[in-house]
Amino acid sequence: MKRIHPYQIIGQRRSSGPASAVIVGLCLLSSTVCCASTVAEANTTLFGPNVYVFDPGMPAADVQGAADRIFTKMESGEFSSERYALLFKPGEYGITFNVGFYTQVAGLGRNPDDVHIKGGVNVNAKWKPNANATCNFWRSLENFAVTPSSTKGVTRIAVSQAAPLRRLHVKGALHLFDFDDKWNAGWASGGFLADSVVDGEVVPASQQQWLSRNCSWSKWSNGVWNMVFVGVVNAPQGAFPNPPYTVVEQTPLIREKPYLHLTEGGRYAVFVPDLQKNTRGASWSAGPTQGTSIPIDRFYVAQPATAKAASLNAALTAGKHLLFTPGVYTLDDTLKISKPGTLVLGLGVPSLIGTSGKPVITVADVDGVTLAGLILEAGAVNAPSLLEVGPADSNADHAANPTFLYDLTVRTGGAKPGKNDAGITINSSHVVADQIWLWRADHGAGAAWATNPTKNGLVVNGGDVTIYGLFNEHHEGYQTLWNGNGGRVYFYQSEIPYDVPDQASWMNGTVNGYASYKVADKVTTHEAWGLGVYCFFRDAPVKLHSAIEAPSAPGVRFHNMTTVWLNGKADSEITHIINGLGGRVYGSEPADAMRQTYNTLP
C-alpha cells in the first residue's frame, strides 16, 4: 500500500478549525519519511525549504531540473548567503548534475551503495577563466555511489579547500581538476577524500596538494607538490620529493563523520560510526560501517529564521543535539556545549556568525563531543577565538572517547568584514580534527591588513591532539601555534599572508616574519607528515625567515616538507624551510628556486 506523504494531507480539503491546525502541525514535525511522488514535495520536510529530499520514484527529469536550478544559482556564488542540501533516499537515479557553492549532496542510505546515481555528480570550474578551481570552496559530496555516464567513465570533481568528499563509491575514474576550452588542465589547490572507494584511476593532474585517508582505488596517477595518503589501500609508490608522495600505512585513530540516514522503519536518524584504531581502507568496504543510530527526535532541528542563541542553548541544556539546516545564523551569545557526547551538525554548509565579541562555540572539557559541517564566521566585534574546545584549565583524559571536529571552516572576512585573535583554540586533550580550514580572507569583503585582522588560525594547548588535513592561511602571526605535547598532523597546507604592507609590519622580534607552523620551545613530542607552505607577497618585497619552527628534541619530528614561491614582489622570499635549514624560494631564475623541499627533521 502506498504511504501518504504528510503534505498530501494538507493538500486535501478538510474542515477548518483547531483539528486541522493540529494535523498541519504534526505534518510539519513528522520524522517519518513517506513516498513523495512529485519533486515539488522534495523540500517540504522537517528540514525546511532549502533541504531537498529526493525519492527514486520522482520523475528523473524533475529531479534533474531541481538540481540544475540550484547549480545555476550557486555556481559562482562564492560569498552567497544561500545554502542548500540535496539528499537522496535509497534507490537508483538516472541524472547528471553539477554541484556549486554551499551545496551538500548526500545519500540517505546506511552505506554508499544504497544510493546509486547513474549519470554523474560533478564539480566543474567553468565560472572562472581557464578552468581555475582554486576558489571552488564550501560544498560536500557524501555517502553515495556514482556510475558516470560520460564516454570515458569519468567523475570530475575540481575543488580546493573546504570541499570534502566522503563515503563515495565512484564506479569509474575520478578526476580532481577541470579542463579549459583548449583542453588544458586548470589549476586546483588542495582537497580531501576519505572513507571512499574508486573502482578506476584517480587523476589529480594539476592538483597542487591533496589528502586521501582510508580510501582505495585501482591507481593514483601523479602529484605536483604535496600528496599525502593515510590508511590507503593501493597508495602510490615513490619517495618524496619526486614524486611528492607521503604514505602513512595506517590511520592511527579515527571515528568517521556522522551522517543523516533513513532507518529500516523509514525515519530520519543520525548514524555515529564507532571509534577505530590502526585502520586501512574504507569503513564500509568489508561490510556496513559499525556504530550507533540516533533518532532525529533527539535533535533540535534549527531553522535560520527562528533559531537564536538562547533557544539553541536551552536545547543543549536539555540534552538535545543540534542539527543546523541550511542558512546563515546570527548569534548574539556563545553556544555552550557542556554535556558529553553532544553532536552539533550542519546540513547544507550553514554559517554561524558571532556578534558579541565572544566565541561562537565553546566546548566544556568533556568526552565525545562532535562538531561537523559548519562555517564559523567572525563578526565586527573582535573575539578571542571563534571555537574554544575546553576551557584554559582543561586537564581531563579523553583518550577513550575523544572530541571530533569534521569539515569546519573558520572564516574571517570574505563574506563580510570581521576580526578575531585566534580561529580555533584547543585546550582539551585527545581532540581529533578531520579536515579543517582556518581562513583569513585574501579576497572578498573586508579583506585587508587592517580590516580583517587575526593573529593565529589554530592554537593547540591540549595534549595528544591529532589532525588529518589542516588547511590554515593568511593570518598575521603564526598560522599554527602548537603548545601541547603529543601532537600529530597528517597533511598541512598553508599560505602566509598576501597583504603584508612592509617588512617592518611583520617582524617577530628581530626575525623576519612569523613561521607558518610553530611548535613551542617547551614541547618535547610532536610529529607531522606532508607539509606545504607557500608565499605570495603581493603588496611588498617581504621575507620570511623559516616556514616551520620547532624545538630540536628527539621526540619532535617532521617528514616531507615543501615551500613554494607562488608569485609576488621581486626580492620577496621564504628564506628557509625549517629552523634555518633548507633552501630559499623566490621568483628569480633558476626556475627550481620557486620550490624547495626538505625530507626529515631531525
123: which strand partners? 157
- Residue 591 CB contacts under 8 Å (≥ 6 apart), including other chains: none
Q: Is 215 helix (H, G, I), strand (E, B) or coil?
A: strand
> Where does 224-290 show beta strands of DSSP type E?
226-230, 245-248, 251-255, 259-262, 268-273, 275-279
Query: What span, in angstroms and rounded, lies between the C-alpha atoms of 202 and 219?
Result: 6
CA distances from 89 to 47, 48, 259, 449 (A): 14, 17, 13, 46
The 3-class secondary structure across 39-64, one letter per residue, is HHHCCCCCCCCCEEEECCCCCHHHHH
Contact, 245 vs 222, CB < 8 A? no
In the structure grid, which three cell numbers stand for residue 590, read together? 633558476
Q: Are strands 573-578 and 543-549 parallel, antiparallel or unpaired?
A: parallel
Collapsing DSSP to helix, strand or coil, 91 comes out as strand
For residues 344-383, one letter each, b for 16 or more C-beta atoms within 10 angstroms of the residue's C-beta and e for the rest, the string is bbbbbbbbbbbeeebbbbbbbbbbbbbbbbbbbbbbeeeb
Distance (Å, whole) CA 382 – CA 5:
47
Cβ contacts of residue 455 below 8 Å, gap of 6+? 421, 422, 475, 476, 477, 478
Report how far apart, in Å, the C-alpha atoms of 377 and of each of 26, 83, 346, 351, 358 are: 35, 15, 14, 7, 12
Q: E-strand spans in 94-242? A: 96-98, 103-107, 115-122, 139-148, 154-156, 165-170, 173-175, 191-203, 209-220, 226-230
Looking at the DSSP assignment, which residues form a beta bridge with residue 578?
Answer: 548, 581
Whether 577 contacts 599, CB under 8 Å? no
Degrees, nearest 5: CA angle 225-147-57: 135
Q: What is the DSSP string of 300-353?
A: EEE-TTT--HHHHHHHHHTT-EEEEPSSEEEESS-EEE-STT-EEEESS--EEE
**Alpha-carbon span 143 to 110, nearest angstrom:** 8
The helix (run of H) or strand (run of E) holding residue 9 is helix 6-11
Are 235 and 214 in contact, with CB atoms under 8 Å apart?
no
Cell of 233: 589501500
In whole angstroms, give the CA distance from residue 141 to residue 117.
12
- Which of 357, 364, 350, 351 minimizes the C-alpha distance to 316? 364
The residues annotated as belonging to the active site are 495
Number of neighbouring beta carbons within 10 Å of residue 443:
12
Burial class (CB in 10 A: 0-12, 13-18, 19+), 600: exposed
